[in-house]
Amino acid sequence: MKSRREFLSLKALQDKIINEGKVLSGDVLKVDSFLNHQIDPQLMQAIGQEFAELYKDAGLTKILTIESSGIAPAVMAGLILGIPVVFARKSKSVTLTDNFYTTEVYSFTKKITSTLTVSKDYVKEDDVILIIDDFLANGEAAKGLLDIVKQAGATTSGIGIVIEKGFQPGGKLLREQGYRVDSLAIVSSLESGKVQFA
């Protein structure tokens, strides 16, 4: 049953990427129709079920993601696992007080460095954390979240990714460092504007 469900959700995700994804300028894959601007809630539920199934025995206490595109898949996984989701903010909000973990993250897509902030109230030493994000490319965002978990003295159980760009170094790097990385779709190439999977 597990393999059947995995197959179904991975297939639906791959179909969406092929049918609706747009390849821009070299290595940018735009999936604004179901993940990064418009959101397909049914697909997010299937993705959440997948992560929940993969980590059901991991003793997770919390999911950590980044605003904005990580929120939908993370909340669906959190709903099924029955645990809270924390999203790192990309810049300080005036309604947050000075009680944060912060870390710098460089976005190769946007060519900007931003500061991730997570309140010390919501990631604690005894937390067992699943990191969820929409994309894994160079691994900058994941490294930022890992750094926050480390600052808190908490445990990272794994990293759940919706779409990994397998031709960029992030996934390899994180796996070599010993992290469990589960990517639901791994794109092996965007050459000639065509999406190919690993």
Which residue in the set 18, 56, 68, 198 belongs to the binding site for its own copies (CB under 8 A)?
A: 68
Contact between 134 and 157 under an 8 Å Cβ cutoff? The reply is: no
Q: Which residue has the tokens 């129709």?
A: 33
Site string for its own copies, 9-48 (x = CB under 8 A): ---------------x---x-x-xxx-xxxxxxx-xx---
Using DSSP's 3-state secondary structure scheme, residue 140 falls into helix
Burial of 71 (0-12, 13-18, 19+ CB in 10 A): middle
Q: Which of 23, 27, 109, 197 binds its own copies (CB under 8 A)?
A: 109
DSSP secondary structure code for residue 192 in this structure: G
Distance CA 100, CA 16 (A): 37
Of 19 and 42, the one with the shorter C-beta distance to its own copies is: 42
Helices 2-20/41-54 angle, 10° precision: 140
**Range 151-190, binding its own copies (CB under 8 A):** none
Q: What is the rounded distance in angstroms from the CA atom of residue 29 to the CA atom of residue 7?
A: 22
Which residue intervals of 55-83 are DSSP H helices?
71-81
Segment interacting with its own copies, rule: CB under 8 A, options 5-13, 95-103, 167-175, 178-186? 95-103
Nearest-angstrom CA–CA distance, 131 and 145: 7
Is 106 near its own copies (CB under 8 A)? no
Q: What's the closest the beta carbon of residue 139 comes to its own copies, in angstroms?
A: 18
Amino acid in position 73: P
Among 13, 85, 116, 185, binds its own copies (CB under 8 A): 85
Residues 6+ apart with CB under 8 A from 175: 181
Residue 115 sits in the site that holds its own copies (CB under 8 A): no
Nearer of residues 11 and 22 to its own copies, judged by Cβ = 22
Which range binds its own copies by CB under 8 A, 11-19, 82-90, 147-155, 176-184? Answer: 82-90
Q: Is 94 in the site for its own copies (CB under 8 A)?
A: yes
**Out of 3, 57, 98, 110, the residue judged to bind its own copies by CB under 8 A:** 110
**Chain residues in the site for its own copies (CB under 8 A):** 24, 28, 30, 32-34, 36-42, 44-45, 67-68, 71-72, 74-76, 78-79, 82-87, 89, 93-97, 109-111, 118-119, 121-122
